[in-house]
């Protein structure tokens, strides 16, 4: 009965929209408005093509031609002046035609997404996204994998008396997919309404959404599929305390007024694509219970609006692309409207790493020298498959280009890459004089953010730690859309730096605030258990705990202290011993937690202490990593730990998605095992 009612409502709504569109089209014809062809380009080419809109299931596609006003041409020429939203509304208020509004929206999207900031010599510089962007590898899950995760979720949903109605698309097998294929029909001819793009930290999810926005605005992507593309960032929505309607939230993130968005959603919802960036696990759980409503102009807390949108209660005919960390992907299935397509962004291929290096190092000889140096270190080359780490490695090698081979040998672990990147950035900007104070202050700010689940900081928050927000290298200014009076906020250049500085603060803090350390460890430990108990195929890398172990690596921490010209004090030595003892107990406990096996191995890899690894794993002669989708980086970690612990004689690698390349990495250790299970 519920499904019949929903279908009846959908058909009635579609019929009403069709009626309004026919009336609207009739008015246009009565006014004898001239047509034009629409095409938005980066150069704002003023040639256009007709927009084709299918208006609901009961009406055929209708071609609507709109006029071009000289106002739009003026607006495009004023792009360099970067008018704010209130000025835009004056330019395109009520009574203006759709094409002019859409053209202006595309120009504002282009202006906002065209450039990215990089911390390169001689100063921070804005480079074109297109000149740096390298397409990552995106894998589409097979139907078999979809059903496996789906049925597991159905069982848990039924146990909690939650109704699951998501529909999965059929695919023959796992395969890579391009960005322009995300909304392509499957083998049965079904087109996904919602695409999940999951991926671990630093894999390029947000960067990819920025590229999608830019390419749509320039007419290179999805122009025939979607008339309007919106972007909502979950981290912004969480900061809005006022109640908002969906229309208001979309208006705040675009150049359209609320009236214009209301018209778009009413007339052509099936031509709307909404990008939702970084939906994480604890947010998804908070969206299950809400009071449903279908009115996009009705106000509610922003996270409730997001839940209604994800469920398909609001705008059921629109399309969505949702990014989230891998660990959250299989816990939110019941929240999303179908048909669903599951994809995962795994980072750069080896060719992609080479392409990124070539784009980063504009000097051909410098590119060849640095890339060849990295190729000799297979483990580091694999680390560069993570786009964030690839950028950091390139930065370090460019800073120390005269000694790139020595630098390559130092970049062994994730923590070592962060340490050398932070040191190089501070040294380049001449901040070595006050570097210790800066690092402590950054750590204090990061620790507060983690405990309060806070990503954005206002100027007062930053000032309380002794930092000057506008002059801090590792913070950048942003604005939260949706607030009545947008004020500048600050966030770390990537949230993984927040984790890194929080871990570093523990070593460098002058006060004996071990209760804070204990609280932080307990918080991170409980989060890991909660996340990894849901499924075993991924882990939250990097995290504060990983950086804790990485900073206890004698080679890494000595390198940091040497670069910041700090003599290791007796207090820091004592703190390291105490922290090492605490973390040893922590990791021994973690080895008993189901689902934490791979996470424990990554912690041991960051520490790089053979004696410690053997002590931790001495009671384990059998290692079970079955049903974990191992990355190439995971294989290097596993190889290291197996070589450190020759007493591990039995290994279960069933259903680990092992390819020939991954098996090649593991081969030196696999031959040491007496019993090996794999498929």
With a CB cutoff of 8 Å and minimum separation 6, the contacts of 534 are 281, 327, 330, 331
Task: Taking residues 245-272, report their average pLDDT.
Answer: 93
Reply yes or no on whether the pLDDT at 610 is more than 80. yes
State the SS3 of 522-562: HHHHHHHHHHHCCCCCCCCCCCHHHHHHHHCCHHHHHHHHH
User: Which pLDDT value is given to residue 28?
Assistant: 42
User: Which pLDDT value is given to residue 171?
Assistant: 54
User: Which pLDDT value is given to residue 453?
Assistant: 80
User: Which pLDDT value is given to residue 483?
Assistant: 62
At residue 167 the predicted structure's pLDDT band, cuts being 50, 70 and 90, is low
Q: What percent of the chain has pLDDT over 70?
A: 70
Question: How confident is the model over 10-52, as pLDDT tens digits?
Answer: 445 555 555 554 554 454 444 434 333 333 333 333 222 222 2
Task: Taking residues 573-583, report their average pLDDT.
Answer: 79
Distance CA 14, CA 8 (A): 10
User: Which pLDDT value is given to residue 525?
Assistant: 56
User: Which pLDDT value is given to residue 332?
Assistant: 67
Q: Which helix (H) or strand (E) holds 103?
A: helix 98-113
Residue 95: strand, helix, or coil: coil
CB neighbours of residue 316 within 10 Å: 17
Instruction: Using a cut of 0.75, tell me whether the model's pTM lies above it.
Output: yes
Cα torsion through 436, 437, 442, 444, rounded to 10: 110
Task: Taking residues 113-138, report their average pLDDT.
Answer: 80
The DSSP bridge pattern shows strands 51-54 and 61-64 to be: antiparallel
- Least confident segment among 112-121, 269-278, 627-636: 112-121
User: Which pLDDT value is given to residue 179?
Assistant: 95
User: Which pLDDT value is given to residue 61?
Assistant: 32
Which has more pLDDT, 332 or 378? 378
What pairs with residue 324 in β-bridges? 198
Reply yes or no on whether the pLDDT at 4 is more than 70. no
Reply yes or no on whether the pLDDT at 151 is more than 70. no
Which has more pLDDT, 208 or 279? 208
Residue 64: strand, helix, or coil: strand
Mean pLDDT of the chain: 77
User: Which pLDDT value is given to residue 62?
Assistant: 30
Distance CA 638, CA 656 (A): 13
Bond preceding residue 535 cis, omega within 30 of 0: no
Alpha-helical regions (H) of 302-377: 302-311, 326-329, 350-360, 364-375
Question: How confident is the model over 476-516, as pLDDT tens digits?
Answer: 888 887 666 677 899 999 989 999 999 898 888 766 555 56
Task: Taking residues 211-222, report their average pLDDT.
Answer: 96
Reply yes or no on whether the pLDDT at 542 is more than 70. no
Structure tokens at 91: 């330019």
At residue 120 the predicted structure's pLDDT band, cuts being 50, 70 and 90, is low
Task: Taking residues 130-158, report their average pLDDT.
Answer: 66
User: Which pLDDT value is given to residue 607?
Assistant: 92
* Residue 222 phi, psi dihedral angles, 5° rounding: 60, 15
User: Which pLDDT value is given to residue 446?
Assistant: 92
Nearest alpha carbon to residue 497 among 407, 401, 433, 425: 425
With a CB cutoff of 8 Å and minimum separation 6, the contacts of 342 are 140, 141, 145, 146, 149, 168, 196, 198, 329
Reply yes or no on whether the pLDDT at 562 is more than 70. yes
- The residue with tokens 């004020």 is 487
Distance CA 176, CA 155 (A): 29
Question: How confident is the model over 266-307, as pLDDT tens digits?
Answer: 999 999 999 999 887 545 445 545 677 899 999 999 989 998
Reply yes or no on whether the pLDDT at 129 is more than 60. yes
Nearest alpha carbon to residue 321 among 441, 231, 419: 231
User: Which pLDDT value is given to residue 573?
Assistant: 77
At residue 125 the predicted structure's pLDDT band, cuts being 50, 70 and 90, is low
With a CB cutoff of 8 Å and minimum separation 6, the contacts of 70 are none
Nearest alpha carbon to residue 657 among 201, 141, 197: 141
Report the phi/psi class of residue 195: left, alpha or beta, with left for phi > 0 and alpha for psi in -120 to 50. Answer: beta
Reply yes or no on whether the pLDDT at 9 is more than 70. no
Whether 168 and 338 have beta carbons less than 8 Å apart is answered as yes
Distance CA 12, CA 7 (A): 9
What pairs with residue 623 in β-bridges? 651
Structure tokens at 67: 């006029």
State the SS3 of 168-226: ECCCCCCEECCHHHCCCCCCCCCCCCEEEEECCCCCCHHHHHHHHHHHHHCCCCCCCCC
């Amino acid at each position: 009965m519920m499904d019949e009612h929903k279908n009846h409502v959908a058909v009635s709504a579609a019929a009403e929209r069709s009626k309004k569109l026919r009336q609207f089209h009739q008015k246009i014809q009565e006014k004898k408005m001239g047509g034009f062809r629409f095409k938005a380009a980066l150069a704002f080419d003023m040639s256009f093509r007709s927009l084709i809109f299918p208006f609901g299931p009961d009406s055929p596609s209708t071609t609507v031609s709109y006029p071009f006003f000289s106002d739009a041409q003026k607006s495009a020429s004023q792009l360099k002046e970067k008018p704010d939203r209130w000025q835009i509304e004056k330019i395109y208020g009520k009574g203006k035609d759709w094409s002019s509004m859409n053209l202006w929206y595309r120009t504002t999207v282009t202006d906002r997404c065209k450039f990215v900031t990089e911390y390169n010599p001689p100063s921070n510089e804005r480079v074109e996204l297109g000149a740096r962007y390298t397409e990552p590898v995106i894998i589409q899950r097979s139907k078999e994998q979809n059903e496996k995760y789906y049925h597991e979720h159905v069982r848990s949903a039924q146990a909690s008396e939650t109704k699951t109605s998501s529909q999965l698309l059929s695919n023959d097998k796992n395969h890579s997919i391009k960005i322009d294929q995300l909304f392509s029909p499957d083998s049965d001819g079904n087109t996904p309404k919602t695409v999940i793009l999951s991926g671990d930290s630093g894999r390029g999810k947000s960067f990819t959404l920025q590229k999608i926005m830019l390419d749509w605005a320039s007419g290179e992507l999805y122009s025939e599929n979607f008339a309007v593309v919106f972007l909502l960032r979950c981290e912004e929505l969480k900061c809005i305390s006022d109640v908002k309607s969906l229309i208001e939230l979309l208006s705040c993130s675009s150049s359209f007024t609320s009236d214009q968005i209301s018209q778009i959603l009413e007339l052509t919802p099936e031509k709307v694509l909404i990008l939702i960036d970084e939906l994480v696990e604890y947010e998804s759980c908070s969206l299950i219970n809400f009071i449903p409503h279908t009115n996009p102009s009705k106000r509610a807390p922003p996270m409730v609006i997001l839940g209604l949108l994800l469920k398909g209660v609001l705008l059921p005919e629109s399309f969505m692309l949702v990014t989230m960390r891998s660990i959250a992907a299989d816990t939110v299935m019941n929240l999303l409207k179908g048909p669903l397509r599951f994809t995962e962004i795994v980072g750069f291929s080896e060719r992609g790493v080479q392409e990124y290096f070539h784009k980063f190092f504009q000097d051909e000889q410098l590119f060849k020298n640095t890339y060849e140096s990295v190729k000799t270190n297979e483990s580091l080359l694999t680390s560069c498959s993570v786009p964030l780490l690839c950028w950091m490695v390139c930065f370090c090698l460019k800073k120390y280009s005269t000694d790139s081979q020595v630098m390559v040998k130092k970049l062994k672990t994730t923590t070592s890459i962060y340490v050398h990147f932070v040191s190089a950035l501070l040294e380049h900007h001449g901040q070595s004089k006050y570097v210790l104070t800066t690092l402590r202050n950054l750590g204090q700010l990061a620790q507060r953010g983690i405990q309060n689940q806070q990503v954005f900081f206002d100027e007062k928050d930053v000032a309380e730690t002794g930092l000057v927000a506008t002059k801090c290298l590792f913070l950048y200014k942003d604005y939260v859309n949706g607030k009545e009076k947008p004020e500048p906020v600050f966030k770390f250049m990537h949230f993984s730096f927040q984790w890194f500085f929080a871990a570093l603060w523990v070593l460098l803090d002058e006060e004996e605030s071990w209760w804070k350390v204990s609280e932080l460890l307990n918080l991170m430990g409980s989060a890991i258990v909660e996340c990894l108990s849901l499924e075993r195929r991924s882990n939250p890398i990097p995290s504060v705990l990983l950086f804790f172990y990485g900073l206890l690596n004698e080679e890494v921490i000595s390198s940091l202290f040497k670069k910041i010209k700090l003599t290791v004090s007796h207090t820091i030595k004592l703190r390291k011993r105490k922290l090492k003892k605490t973390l040893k107990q922590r990791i021994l406990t973690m080895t008993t937690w189901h689902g934490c096996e791979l996470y424990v191995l990554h912690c041991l890899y960051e520490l790089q202490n053979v004696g410690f690894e053997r002590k931790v794993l001495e009671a384990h002669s059998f290692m079970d990593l079955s049903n974990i989708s191992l990355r190439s980086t995971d294989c290097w970690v596993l190889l290291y730990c197996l070589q450190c612990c020759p007493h591990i004689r039995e290994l279960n690698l069933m259903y680990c998605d092992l390819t020939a390349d991954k098996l090649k990495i593991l081969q030196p250790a696999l031959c040491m095992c007496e019993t090996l299970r794999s498929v």
